[in-house]
Chain A
């Protein structure tokens, strides 16, 4: 069956611009997670949704980052006024429940010039 998909696979933008990154979770998965993976590092937790609501957004680095999941399926990570330090691979994962295995998408590589 279809796994977690993320679009675009690559995004190049200029400093100060706004970007949106999309995640399509596995159908029926109620939990959705966003992570950021900087070069040479492991994934870093950003935010977690249970259904439509953000159950834990403690990993978002600052108020330029925001994520939504309006219908409890697709999620969009939004970054305002991008900075060069935002360059990373943004990973999305989904799971059937909080206690279940997280399935990861291939990620979106964001490059801020």
Chain B
């Protein structure tokens, strides 16, 4: 079965600074990879996903992630963050042959300070 490790539980950054949220996965089969964002008191919202093709995936709100198969990573990046990016971010993986079984990481709390 696949699993996800988010290496940082909390990431504080200043506004307009770049940020990287790290995600590593383990799986014995081909995978789909996702990043979700959860704002306070709201549901999970999909930021971006990797299904196949280009390893650099661009998502909403200026976020992007790069699939690195050799390092089994899918790190999320943004070149310049805003206060409004403060939220919880979850990396998730699913077996590409069985997408209903999606496994989430424990989450990374991004706090953007003025």
User: Footprint of B on A, CB under 8 Å?
Assistant: 3-4, 31, 33, 35, 40-45, 48, 50, 55-56, 58, 91, 93, 98-99, 101-107
Contacts and interface: CB of A to CB of B under 8 A. Distances in A.
Contacts of A48: 100-101
B84 interface: no
Given A91-B44, A104-B43, 6 more contacts: A35-B104, A41-B106, A45-B100, A93-B44, A102-B46, A106-B42
Nearest to B104: A42
B106 A40 contact: yes
Contacts of B106: 40-42
Of A42, A55, A91, A102, chain B has the most CB atoms within 10 Å of the CB of A42
B100 A56 contact: yes
Contacts of A44: 104
Interface in B70-114: 90, 92, 99-107
A67 B6 CA distance: 30
Contacts of B102: 33, 45, 102
Interface of B: 4, 6, 36, 41-46, 49, 90, 92, 99-107
Of A3, A44, A55, A99, chain B has the most CB atoms within 10 Å of the CB of A99
Contacts of A31: 100
Contact of A56 (B41, B101, B104): B101
Contacts of B36: 104
B101 A45 contact: yes
B57 to A, nearest CB: 13
A104 B103 contact: no
Contacts of B107: 40-42
B100 A98 contact: yes
Given A42-B92, A43-B90, A104 B104 contact: no
A106 B90 contact: no
A30 to B, nearest CB: 12
B15 to A, nearest CB: 26
A45 B103 contact: yes
A5 to B, nearest CB: 10
